[in-house]
Structure 1
Amino acid sequence: MKKIVGYIFAIAILQLFLTFLKRTPYTIEKYYSSNFYLAIQTILTYFNKWTKISIGDVLYVLVVIAIIYKIIQYIRKKEDVLKNISGYVLQTIFQFILFFQIFWGLNNLRVPVSTKLEIDTNYELAELYDLTEQLIQKTNALQYEITKNDSAKVDFEKDLKAFNKASRNGYKKLEDRFDIALIIHSDVKKSLFSSFLTGAGFSGYLNPFTHEAQINYDIPVIGMPVTVAHEIAHQKGIATESEANFFGFLAMNSQEEIDYQYAANLYALKYCLKEVRINNEEKFLQFYDQLNFGIQENISDSEKFWQENKNFSSNILKNVYGNFLKLNNQKDGIRSYNRFVDLLINYNKKYPLP
């Protein structure tokens, strides 16, 4: 019983300490994100960049097997089963929180990009409509320039190596305007759990313990370039989902290849249309009708893919992940992804998009 109480106390103390650290974003930025984290990133990348297989994915499997094996051992002993399992679970939770925060999680507490750029975080509905209109015009123009036919959808070759290279080039172009360290990081890798991710509704993820970024290799190819750039943002210590979306968009929109520009603008447009639809269904339909038919086909293909492959785990895991985000200073939970629109609107007011 003392062991259980001890771990409960340790978890509580750790959470209180993290609550205190939330008040010190500039300290986190200076000493953790800009120094300690970069050192960890460099060391881990040295060990994981040499293989296309995700070491982190393999470790996840081994850890799950070890946990199950340990629990089975406690059950077989038939003595104080509940107490032993409870103590082991609390120990595992404590270790997860501790190492997650040390290796990556404290980036959630760093100075927000909106503060660094001195831009607002809210917007008027009219500003959302203006940006949506702007993105429609840009995306229509790019689609037609690529296909020479407004009814033809844009197709991408599935080339993860090319998407990684484009992302790296994009971040180099962002270095002057943003405080993004051009640190060494491994390429985004194919996830070993792509089928599972598809059913759960996820496109990719970062392993916070190995700093490897993984992509669901089964998703529609049109979404892969920005997803790769999004996950690389996480490798760079950009923790919030809204900011990772923001930098993923900018990295791809800065490319010379108009295919990548199209992928980036389509990505941003879909988020804007989603926000418009939440606020005004009629306005959403008006905007959607302005899209070239080829763009509508790209959007339709993506939505069809997710709907057809969605399973019961999607809502469960997204609720779990949403609560996890809230515990890590992303108060909007799963809606944090959509806060990308807030950033983009206010960034566009200060630094007009091309």
Structure 2
Amino acid sequence: MKRKSLYILAGLLPVQIIVIGLLAEYPLFIENWYSRGIYPWISRFMRFPLGFLPFSLGDFLYAILVLMLLKWLIRRFKTRFRSPRKWIIDGLAALSVIYACFHLIWGFNYYRLPLHQALELDPDYTTEELIILSENLISRSNELHAELSADDSLAIEIPYSKKELFEQTILGYDHLSEEYPELTYKNPNLKRSLYSIPLTYMGFNGYLNPLTGEAQVNTQIVKFKIPTTASHEVGHQLGFAKENEANFIACLATMNHPDIYFRYSGHAFALRYSLNELYRRDKEKFEELKEKIRPGILANYREVDDFWLRHQNPFEPLFLATYNRYLMVNNQAEGMKSYSYVVALLVNYFAEEKNTGATGTGFY
């Protein structure tokens, strides 16, 4: 590439940062023109050809990018970082292209309207409302566990293969789209991550590759977690970039799933978030409600916790801190703590559902 072009690309990086920062102040504009406008077409266009590949193209691209970076660094070390103006411009030009692609292909979804506004829900709730939600989730989770196991202390084992779990995830969105057409999932592109083992030691369940639009799942995790993890990543594909919002979408997809194992996984997932928030607000009530949960559900929770404990390592906090910073930069001010926002969505969504007698209020 000619040096003049590299200078132009490098100079466009700060311009992009300023323009995107200004656009981020207008979430309604982004909602209408990007998230509900051109993004669905971009996403489907990318999912259609890549969905037929039996492997993750995005994972291969990551490997190529890492190798290119290593090659670039080796060259810089060999030349002892001489001609800094040249390699700084090269680096800024590359960052400029990546930054533009990230936002155009998917990243603008971080700046869309908050989901509680789209659903016309109150983002706040009282402890009493949280207790009601927790009690309802305990009741339903217990019922589902009892249907799956006569032994109340037995952890539920999901009998499906990982391929079948992915197929069931897609089926869940087909079912959900009957109530919410906005969540229609055509041209599915849900894949096992080639980096599942490294992801495990980094502490991640899965991710969306923003450059290829592929939803990646860490298939090393406990099967009990795969339904909600896979549904979460599909939520990202559908344009819900924020982690808490993708978690809420995952709750809807699994809790309303035609398959009982998915419904169990989804209710237990929502219950854990609810209980964690209740523990922070009212420990005494938390202990009281915990006694009402079938031991087998708690055994599933321990199964997940034990899995992550077995894979703890000195580098995991660094990876999580880096990701936390990434969330903050991308319009999630509380970082990973913002995950608790899913409880607010659950409390007010089900309260609205009860008040209206409907199964949902629609997304837009």
After superposing on structure 2, the runs of 4+ consecutive aligned residues of structure 1 that deviate more than 6 Å are 2-8
User: Which of 221, 225, 229 is 1:219 aligned to?
Assistant: 221
Residues 217-273 of structure 1: CA deviation (Å, up to 9, x unaligned): 110100101111111111111111111111111111112222211100000111112
User: Which of 312, 315, 329 is 1:313 aligned to?
Assistant: 315
- Partner residue in 1 for 2:36: 34
SS of alignment partner, residue 169 of structure 2: helix
Alignment of 1:1-354 (within 5 A): 10-78=12-80, 80=82, 82-175=84-177, 177-178=179-180, 180-352=182-354
Letter of the 1:69 partner, please give it.
K
In structure 2, what is the Cα distance between the partners aligned to 1:310 and 1:81?
A: 42
CA contact (8 A) 2:172 2:258 kept: no
SS of alignment partner, residue 332 of structure 2: coil
Please report the TM-score for the alignment, with normalisation by the length of structure 2.
0.89
CA contact (8 A) 1:71 1:85 kept: no
Please report the TM-score for the alignment, with normalisation by the length of structure 1.
0.92
Aligned-pair CA distance for 1:198: 1.0
SS of alignment partner, residue 180 of structure 1: helix
CA contact (8 A) 2:30 2:111 kept: yes
Change in CA separation of 1:126 and 1:52 when aligned onto 2, cut-off 3 Å: same
SS of alignment partner, residue 53 of structure 1: coil
* Long gaps (5+) in structure 2: 360-364
Greater Cα offset, 42-51 or 278-287: 278-287
SS of alignment partner, residue 206 of structure 1: strand
Aligned-pair CA distance for 1:7: 7.2
In structure 2, what is the Cα distance between the partners aligned to 1:338 and 1:309?
A: 24
Percent identity between the aligned chains? 30
Change in CA separation of 1:179 and 1:333 when aligned onto 2, cut-off 3 Å: farther
In structure 2, what is the Cα distance between the partners aligned to 1:114 and 1:176?
A: 21
In structure 1, what is the Cα distance between the partners aligned to 2:279 and 2:90?
A: 46
In structure 1, what is the Cα distance between the partners aligned to 2:89 and 2:333?
A: 30
Aligned-pair CA distance for 1:54: 0.6
In structure 2, what is the Cα distance between the partners aligned to 1:82 and 1:120?
A: 53
In structure 1, what is the Cα distance between the partners aligned to 2:272 and 2:319?
A: 23
CA contact (8 A) 1:185 1:235 kept: no
Aligned-pair CA distance for 1:118: 0.9
Change in CA separation of 1:20 and 1:155 when aligned onto 2, cut-off 3 Å: same
In structure 1, what is the Cα distance between the partners aligned to 2:290 and 2:335?
A: 27
SS of alignment partner, residue 291 of structure 2: helix
SS of alignment partner, residue 152 of structure 1: coil
Measured on the aligned residues, the alpha-carbon RMSD in Å equals 2.4
Residues 21-80 of structure 1: CA deviation (Å, up to 9, x unaligned): 123222222221223212222221232111221110011001110111012122223362
CA contact (8 A) 2:175 2:258 kept: no
SS of alignment partner, residue 205 of structure 1: strand
Change in CA separation of 1:298 and 1:181 when aligned onto 2, cut-off 3 Å: closer
Change in CA separation of 1:110 and 1:77 when aligned onto 2, cut-off 3 Å: same
* Long gaps (5+) in structure 1: none
SS of alignment partner, residue 207 of structure 2: strand
Aligned-pair CA distance for 1:3: 11
Residues 181-221 of structure 1: CA deviation (Å, up to 9, x unaligned): 52533332111111111111110000011000111111010
